Structure formats: C-alpha cells, structure tokens
Amino acid sequence: METFFAPAKLNLFLHIVGRRADGYHLLQSVFRLLDYGDDVDMAVRADGAIRRLTPIAGVDEAQDLTLKAARLLQAESGTTLGADIAVRKRLPMGGGLGGGSSDAATVLLALNGLWNLNWPKPRLAELGLRLGADVPFFVGGSNAFVEGIGERLTPIELPPAWYVVLVPPVHVATAEIFALPELKRDRAAIRPQDYRPGFGMNDLQAPVAARYPAVAEHLSWLAGFGDARMTGSGACVFLEVLDAAGAQEIFARRPPGMAGFVARGLNNHPLLC
C-alpha cells in the first residue's frame, strides 16, 4: 500500500452573488489548502476490483466518493486494473473542510499515476466535477478564487499564514441552510484580482450560528483573538494567525471540550508539488 495525502481547505470568505433557475446558488469564495487532512492508502489490483478496506461511519459504499472516483476513472479510461482503498479520516464529516471531495480528488490523482494513465489535470478535473463541485479545486492543486457553483477556478497567490481551526460537535445540514428564505443572495460580485486578505465574510455564518448554538459558542470564543470565521456551510470555524507560535498559543488556551487543530496554509497540493 502507498499513502497519499488529502488536504483540507478553508473558505477564507463565502459570498452568495445569485441563484440559477435550477436552484443552485452562485458563489464567490477563496479556497485555501491546509497541511492537515486525511490519508488515503491505495494498492493496485490486477483483477480490476475496486475495494474499500476501511468503513467510514455514516457513509455506505454506494455513497463513498473515493469508490465513486476510482470506478469513474476506471470506466472512463478503460483500464483493466483495480485498487484497494483505505481512508484514514482526520477531517470531520460535514465540517466545511472539503474532506470527502479532497479524498476523491486524491484517489483520482493517485490512480492516474498508479494505473499509468497520465491524464492531464484538466481532464481529471472535468471528471471530478461529476463527483462534486469542490473536487476540481483539489485536483487543480492550488489556492483559488472560486466562482459559479464552485467549478470556475482562478489560481491565486496568498501570503503565508497559520490557522486555528475548531470543530464544533454538530453536523450542519447544508441543504437546509441554503434553503433559508432570509439568506442573503445578492452580494455584489468582485473580480478575482481585486481580492485582498481579510475581504468579505461568510454569508452562511449568521444563519448557521443562529440555529446551531455550538457553532455560535466556538465562533464567540475564537473571536476574542481576531477575525473568526466559519468555513463553508460549517460547522468548523477558524482564525488566521501570522505564525505557528501564535496559533499554538491560542489553541492551547481553548476551553475544555473544544476540539480542533492548528494547520499551516499551503500554496499547492502536496501530490502536485
């Protein structure tokens, strides 16, 4: 078995700038890769079987994005090879950190090499979009200004930073939050080149905090140290810090029972460096 990293991401801001006729929301965001994430162990099989070796709580095989990614790549490429896949989860389910999408992207990137397919990244990203809107970002492998429903990516340079990330013990129902009538959906769009660190906010944050007290509690505590924000549709919240020592100091002061981690922002996906 070989081990491949699947990094987390943060939404440094998230604005809703419109809504399509089919109900999908039009977003603008900046996605930042982190040096914290899941590990995906894989081994090539000669018999063509795709097997999951480690069950994931709450995710049956039919819904497992890693298996879907492997089977889709297998079908589209026509390879006769298969794979054993084992995911060692660190990222919470439904935390807004992109764990499932990142795992799927890592499977695509790794099997592209293990199966000697040598597909270019754009072809893999096109395949990834069929699995989920965030998958192409992880396949692309660099921090990005994100638009549309998540499929339009503009690479962006971000300054070095560390992040204190807290994980409230709740699962936010994303579809429920996006369906709320009071959700702001008419933010003025900006150009990717006009983004600056610290810009904007997360338009989902206030509705989520109002409905999930644990998210509000974690945000409130972290806000005592700076501009605390929620990532994605939650439930995880984060604070950007200039250096590792400052991030570790804040994290060490968290109240008992608050879970989370400290991570460094990455410029590129480790599998593509």
Q: Name the residues annotated as catalytic.
A: 9, 134
d(CA 215, CA 213): 5
Q: Which of 103, 82, 248, 273 is nearest to 165 (CA)?
A: 248
> Contact, 36 vs 3, CB < 8 A?
no
Beta bridge partners, 41, equal 3, 86
Is the link from the previous residue into 223 a cis peptide, with omega within 30 of 0? Answer: no
For the chain, give the number of residues: 273
Phi, psi torsion values for 158, nearest 5 degrees: -125, 145
CB contact at 8 A, 106 and 2: no
